Structure 1
């Protein structure tokens, strides 16, 4: 049975009228700034003429990677230029970029506190001989410019405290549980208490243990102690899953994915991606992997389309300045968000396939129920083909810096053909607003491709328990089908006409295989000869399975209609896709 998901505007407004969950602001704000800044910033990724001793080249790890002693590392504080350091400039940059919150590394793995902590003497103010408190200054600037303040705090790893965790304990022998608890009680608990007591409202504590606590030295009782203290001191403060607990735990308010890891499916809970503009988190003078502005836009929008947020990092130098490449990209993002922010802020995703469209993504505004089409690839034939919106729109508008421009469209069941202007409104991502009296989604029908035609593949089929192999750089997404497997699809044909059929597959059985395609009860058959491999690169002995198109005839459609499609083979094969296209 065709599954239709109905999302009425009435339900949306009822939901909005209910008591908001604590983490609602993160779901609404969607875009924030991460700041990695500390003693490591003064090394600039280079120690005594040598780059960081690890392929990932993360500058904030240089003390550990390059085996720098505590005293010598502390001398780096002399490189900080306090005449130029101005944390308010970071806040203003975040504001200009359209970011709504800031997470700053109050203490990273090196164990150095950015504020004048009363716990020990290993803090940036004491090592620098300054009375400046960067945390206080950024807190005041955030309040002044209406930016939420959040703290990163490394609770698990600490290379400064004699009983803190260091990965090298796998070689030298680990500290005892009692010793680690001494570090916990002497440093973690009192420092987090200082952060939550002395700097006003803190929106989030962002921890950084990327494995479950059971795989670490930390005990559940210690995490409970820390989380309970946060709840007591700042009841509205969020805690991320890198505390070391799963999203289902009562102490966890949202899930943090891996570094630069982006979503793959829609979820109904709040999550975020911590990402870098370049590669390193801390400033690295050898950095040459800057992401393009377009890539950053797509990362943000892709996350929002799956109900996720995006926290984008900057790594200022020891004088507080931010690399030009980073400033340029953030200013470009802010300019775009000034015009198109209504399609990002307070937007959720839609419960449809992440790879639904080849032209871009869709988001849903929680305030008015409008759907936004984020077009990465403006259609050459000036027809934007949208699949999955089953109800008829009231109107569709193209957003431009000059205002909204209404455009014409045709509705064919769950498929829209939107007639867009010749020139794309924005060089990065153009946006259309679709307004509905009531929104209904079709989450099952195969999406129409940019130039027309339908790819029935391993990601948009309706069958379960099939062996899926993802694209590995040379072989496409495919199923490893057995002769008993029956993958199925639903396709809506929007126009009458003759449609050709071709199946892409690899037959490695060494013999001819019979395949059948059943379209609305009618069978189309073909015999597929065995095929071998294809050379990827010459003179490297690099060969992979060859996937070839097999023509399977054509069929007639007299009027727009929905079709059920099933594939069968007489022997095991590697199945890529079926392609249906109007002649």
Structure 2
């Protein structure tokens, strides 16, 4: 199945880790898995999960103002607590928390009302399911998996029948999500604890596509996904094919009371520009409080990023990856017709902005947002080796607080010289 065209065109998504772990503000699921808190104390958070300020329409409005085109909600994390009234098992917020209602349906409806694509996160692993720790990965890539009682059977105690029951439960839950909510994107996780064959990944993908052939999958289907998901760090080179950088606004996926290390808007703009400049999407993570409210500090970051995107939307939407590193000191994007190059300047340009290796004749250069035209000229060059394009720096009034963008209109599709220069 070909990648759905909306995904690479989306540029920005919002990642919501929302669950009972927000009550005490502990590490989502991992807190009991690693022994940070006792399992009983972790599960006691069910009693404090109210969703009393859960307002998915307000979420969707915020995401739209941020410039996002999709969002991803943790329908079920590794702790096995479902945010919808699943018929599979008994562990969900509808039956066992004061919230007492389905939190996925309202989210899906609100996003669609705002024209946003609906993504749902689902963990293959379930550290609370009685049948989960019945198999063992033969060579897990993460330390501690084979020895953790929440993840793996003890040596000699594997139970294939229990594992088959678990897979049936997982496939039934995923089927519920697709049937009830018709997600545009399924964001899987937890794949490292079993092999592709143990997980029956191909069969899971086929099950979903039989119900909704247009579903987009992330890469955590072990060879059966549609796009790569580097996490918390911009790659030095773009992954093959479509991809998405997963990045938190602070240092945590879910809400944690003590984590006040929120990235400034300027830094988020840099991450975003670098990501789209390499052809990827940014999936920006926020953690709602247990009552469903997104912390004001995180909402402000989304609003700030959205303001920059709105001002520079022509350099964002409808563009692809720009020039490779070395042609311009900063990221760039390229219009769909290949005839307009957008140069991102993180610091206010001084005197000139240079572009190297550009074979095209430049028709016009202007500042995105103000439209001010800038003088430009080519210096040097010999034979097949083009000279350097020098663009006069914009006046201070035309620069942006976070990153200034220059539109370079070309006489044809972008044509770059990538050689070593003329030697004598």
Q: Same fold (TM over 0.5)?
A: yes
TM-score normalised according to structure 2 size: 0.88
For the residues of structure 1 that align with 2:119 and 2:110, how far apart are their CA atoms?
Answer: 13
**Aligned-pair CA distance for 1:373:** 0.6
For the residues of structure 1 that align with 2:363 and 2:36, how far apart are their CA atoms?
Answer: 64
Q: Does 1:134 align with 2:103?
A: yes
Deviations 1:308-347 (A, max 9, x none): 1110011000011122221111101111111101111121
Segments of 5+ residues of structure 2 without an aligned counterpart are 137-143, 380-385
Q: Does 1:181 align with 2:164?
A: yes
* Pick aligned residue for 2:376 from 395, 402, 409: 409
> Judging changes above 3 Å, is the alpha-carbon distance between structure 1 residues 148 and 327 closer, same or farther for their aligned structure 2 residues?
same
For the residues of structure 2 that align with 1:184 and 1:341, how far apart are their CA atoms?
Answer: 44
**Structure 1 or 2: larger strand share?**
1
8 Å Cα contact 1:77-1:127 kept in structure 2: yes
Segments of 5+ residues of structure 1 without an aligned counterpart are 1-19, 46-57, 246-250, 446-489, 493-519, 522-583
Deviations 1:32-80 (A, max 9, x none): 00000001111212xxxxxxxxxxxx44422323365665433312223
Alignment partner, residue 104 of structure 1: 73
Deviations 1:325-370 (A, max 9, x none): 21111101111111101111121113x4335433x21111115631
**Aligned-pair CA distance for 1:287:** 0.4
* Pick aligned residue for 1:36 from 9, 13, 17: 17
8 Å Cα contact 1:240-1:252 kept in structure 2: yes
Alignment partner, residue 87 of structure 1: 56
Taking the TM superposition and a 5 Å limit, the aligned residue runs for 1:391-540 are 391-400=360-369, 403-412=370-379, 413-423=386-396, 424-444=398-418, 490-491=420-421, 520-521=423-424
* Pick aligned residue for 2:225 from 246, 252, 266: 252
Secondary structure, counterpart of 1:318 in structure 2:
coil
Secondary structure, counterpart of 2:373 in structure 1:
strand
Which consecutive segments of 4 or more residues in structure 1 shift more than 6 A? none
For the residues of structure 2 that align with 1:306 and 1:255, how far apart are their CA atoms?
Answer: 13
Q: Does 1:143 align with 2:146?
A: no
* Pick aligned residue for 1:374 from 344, 355, 371: 344
Aligned CA RMSD, in angstroms, stands at 2.3
Alignment partner, residue 231 of structure 1: 209
Q: Does 1:305 align with 2:277?
A: yes
**Structure 1 or 2: larger helix share?**
2
Alignment partner, residue 46 of structure 2: 77
8 Å Cα contact 1:204-1:239 kept in structure 2: yes
**Aligned-pair CA distance for 1:444:** 2.1
Deviations 1:226-262 (A, max 9, x none): 10011111100011111122xxxxx3211112x2132
Residue correspondences, number: 402
8 Å Cα contact 2:52-2:99 kept in structure 1: no
For the residues of structure 2 that align with 1:326 and 1:232, how far apart are their CA atoms?
Answer: 38
8 Å Cα contact 2:367-2:406 kept in structure 1: yes
Instruction: Flag the structure with larger Rg.
Output: 1
For the residues of structure 1 that align with 2:98 and 2:148, how far apart are their CA atoms?
Answer: 36
> Judging changes above 3 Å, is the alpha-carbon distance between structure 1 residues 405 and 285 closer, same or farther for their aligned structure 2 residues?
same
**Aligned-pair CA distance for 1:81:** 3.1
